[in-house]
Amino acid sequence: MPEMTYLQAIHDGLREELLADERVLVMGEDVGRFGGAFKVTDGLWDEFGAERVIDTPLAEAAIIGTAVGAAVVGMRPVCEMQFADFVACGFDQLVNVAGKMHYRQGLAVPITVRLPSGGGFGGGPFHSQNPEAWFMHAPGLKVVAPATAADAKGMLIGAIHDPNPVLFFEHKHLYRRVKGEVPPGREETPFRARVAREGRDLTVIAYGAMVWSALEATEDIDGASVEVIDLRSLVPLDEEAILASVAKTSKVVVIDEANATCAAGAQVAALIAERAFEDLDGPVVRVATPDAPIAFSPPLERALLPQADRIEEACRELLEY
Amino acid sequence: MSSSSTEQAQGTVAVEMPQMGVSVAEGTLTVWHKHVGDHVDRDEIICEVSTDKIDTDVPSPAAGSIVELLVEEEKTVPVGTALAVIAVEGGGGGEPAAAADAPAADAPAPAHAPASGNGTANGSHASFHSPVAQRLAAAHGIDLATVKGTGRGGRVRKQDVLAAAESGRASGSSAAPAAAEPSAPSAGVSEPLSRMRRAIAEHMTRSLHTAAHCTTIIEADFSRVERERAPIGCSPLPLVARAVVAALRAHPALNSTLEGDSLTRHEDVNLGIAVSLGERGLIVPVIHRAQELSAEGLAARIAELARRARADELTADDVRGGTFTITNPGGFGSIASTPIINQPQVGILDLEAVVKRPVAIVDDAGGDAIAVRPMAYLCLSWDHRALDGALAAQFLATLRGVLEGKEVGDDPIGRTAAP
Tell me the pLDDT tens digit for each residue of A211-270. 999 999 999 999 999 999 999 999 999 999 999 999 999 999 999 999 999 999 999 999
Rounded CA-CA distance B98/B94 in Å is 12
User: Does B9 lie in the same domain as B81?
Assistant: yes
CA of A269, closest CA in chain B: separation in Å?
A: 13
Contact between chains at B132 and A314 (C-beta distance less than 8 A): no
Q: Which residues of A touch B158 (CB under 8 A)?
A: 250, 281
Cβ–Cβ < 8 Å for A26, A52: yes
What pLDDT was estimated at residue B232?
80
Contact between chains at A321 and B117 (C-beta distance less than 8 A): no
User: Does B251 lie in the same domain as B136?
Assistant: no
Does residue B401 register a pLDDT over 90?
yes
- Interface contacts (A, B; CB < 8 Å): 55
Confidence band for B186, pLDDT divided at 50, 70 and 90: low
User: Does B166 lie in the same domain as B223?
Assistant: no
Q: Which residues of B touch A307 (CB under 8 A)?
A: none
What pLDDT was estimated at residue B99?
40
DSSP B108-122: ----B----TT--PP
The answer to whether A291 contacts chain B (CB < 8 Å) is no
Compute how many other C-beta atoms are within 10 angstroms of the C-beta atom of residue B235. Answer: 18
Contact between chains at B121 and A278 (C-beta distance less than 8 A): no
User: Would you say the pTM of this structure is higher than 0.90?
Assistant: no
**Closest residue on chain A to B125 (Cα):** A321
Q: Which residues of A touch B157 (CB under 8 A)?
A: 281, 321
Chain B residues with CB within 8 Å of chain A CB = 114-122, 124, 130-135, 151-152, 155, 157-158
What pLDDT was estimated at residue B277?
87
B102 DSSP assignment: P
B205 domain-assigned: no
Which residues form the domain of B44?
5-106
Would you call the peptide bond into B344 cis, given omega within 30 degrees of 0 as the criterion? yes
3-state DSSP percent of chain B in helix, strand and coil, to 5: 30, 25, 45
Closest partner CB to B131 (pick from A277, A287, A288): A277
Contact between chains at A281 and B158 (C-beta distance less than 8 A): yes
B415 domain-assigned: no
**Closest residue on chain A to B126 (Cα):** A321
User: Going by C-beta distance under 8 Å and a sequence separation of 6 or more, which residues neighbour residue A275?
Assistant: A239, A243
CA of A301, closest CA in chain B: separation in Å?
A: 16
Euclidean distance between the first and the last CA atom of chain B, given in angstroms as a whole number: 43
**Closest residue on chain A to B116 (Cα):** A314
Cβ–Cβ < 8 Å for A250, A279: yes
CA of A135, closest CA in chain B: separation in Å?
A: 24
Cβ–Cβ < 8 Å for B402, B412: yes
What pLDDT was estimated at residue B107?
39
Contact between chains at B132 and A287 (C-beta distance less than 8 A): no
What pLDDT was estimated at residue B98?
40
Rounded CA-CA distance B58/A108 in Å is 80
**Closest residue on chain A to B152 (Cα):** A321
Catalytic choice (B41, B106, B363, B388): B388
The answer to whether A320 contacts chain B (CB < 8 Å) is yes
User: Does B227 lie in the same domain as B160?
Assistant: no
Interface test with A, best of B122, B128, B130, B136 (most A CBs within 10 A): B130
Contact between chains at B133 and A278 (C-beta distance less than 8 A): no
The ranges of chain A annotated as CATH 3.40.50.920 are 194-320
CA of B133, closest CA in chain A: separation in Å?
A: 7
Catalytic choice (B41, B106, B363, B384): B384
The ranges of chain A annotated as CATH 3.40.50.970 are 3-181
**Closest residue on chain B to A277 (Cα):** B131
Q: Which residues of A touch B130 (CB under 8 A)?
A: 250, 280-282
Interior angle at CA B333, CA B330 and CA B334, nearest 5? 70
> Number of folded domains in chain B?
3
Q: Could you tell me which residues are beta bridge partners of residue B256?
A: B265
**Closest residue on chain B to A283 (Cα):** B121
User: Does B319 lie in the same domain as B280?
Assistant: yes
Rounded CA-CA distance B127/B109 in Å is 9
Q: Which residues of A touch B153 (CB under 8 A)?
A: none
Contact between chains at B152 and A287 (C-beta distance less than 8 A): no
Q: Which residues of A touch B133 (CB under 8 A)?
A: 281
CA of A304, closest CA in chain B: separation in Å?
A: 11
Contact between chains at A318 and B121 (C-beta distance less than 8 A): yes
**Closest residue on chain B to A316 (Cα):** B116
CA of A321, closest CA in chain B: separation in Å?
A: 5
User: Going by C-beta distance under 8 Å and a sequence separation of 6 or more, which residues neighbour residue B31?
Assistant: B47, B48, B73
User: Which of the four CATH numbers 3.40.50.920, 3.40.190.10, 1.10.8.60, 3.40.50.2000 does domain A194-320 have?
Assistant: 3.40.50.920
DSSP B148-214: PP-SGGGPPPHHHHHHHHHHHHHH---SSPPPPPPPPSSS----PPPHHHHHHHHHHHHHHHHS-EE
Residue A210 sits at φ, ψ, to 5 deg, of: -65, -20
pLDDT in tens, B253-290: 999 999 988 999 999 999 999 998 888 888 999 999 99
Does residue B108 register a pLDDT over 60?
no
B118 domain-assigned: no
What pLDDT was estimated at residue B109?
40
The CATH architecture annotation of domain A3-181 reads: 3-Layer(aba) Sandwich (3.40)
B116 domain-assigned: no
Closest partner CB to B116 (pick from A277, A278, A313): A313
Contact between chains at B132 and A250 (C-beta distance less than 8 A): yes
Q: State the alpha helices, DSSP H only, in B233-287.
A: 236-250
* Enzyme catalytic residues of A: 127
The answer to whether A1 contacts chain B (CB < 8 Å) is no
Rounded CA-CA distance B6/B81 in Å is 10
Does residue B42 register a pLDDT over 90?
no
The CATH number of the domain holding residue B243 is 3.30.559.10
- CB half-sphere exposure, A60, CA atoms < 13 A: 18
> Residues of chain A whose pLDDT is less than 50?
none
CA of A152, closest CA in chain B: separation in Å?
A: 30
User: Does B137 lie in the same domain as B99?
Assistant: no
Find, among B84, B90, B45, B47, the residue nearest to B67 by Cα.
B84
Closest partner CB to A314 (pick from B120, B152, B158): B120
User: Going by C-beta distance under 8 Å and a sequence separation of 6 or more, which residues neighbour residue B260?
Assistant: none
SS3 A98: helix
CA of B116, closest CA in chain A: separation in Å?
A: 6
CA of B129, closest CA in chain A: separation in Å?
A: 8
Q: Which residues of B touch A283 (CB under 8 A)?
A: 120-122
B-facing residues of A in 219-258 (CB < 8 A) are 250
Rounded CA-CA distance B406/B402 in Å is 6
Contact between chains at B130 and A280 (C-beta distance less than 8 A): yes
Contact between chains at A285 and B116 (C-beta distance less than 8 A): yes
Q: Is B267 exposed, middle or buried (CB count within 10 Å of its CB: 0-12, 13-18, 19+)? A: exposed
Q: Which residues of B touch A280 (CB under 8 A)?
A: 130-132
The answer to whether A298 contacts chain B (CB < 8 Å) is no
Contact between chains at B130 and A281 (C-beta distance less than 8 A): yes
User: Does B157 lie in the same domain as B238?
Assistant: no
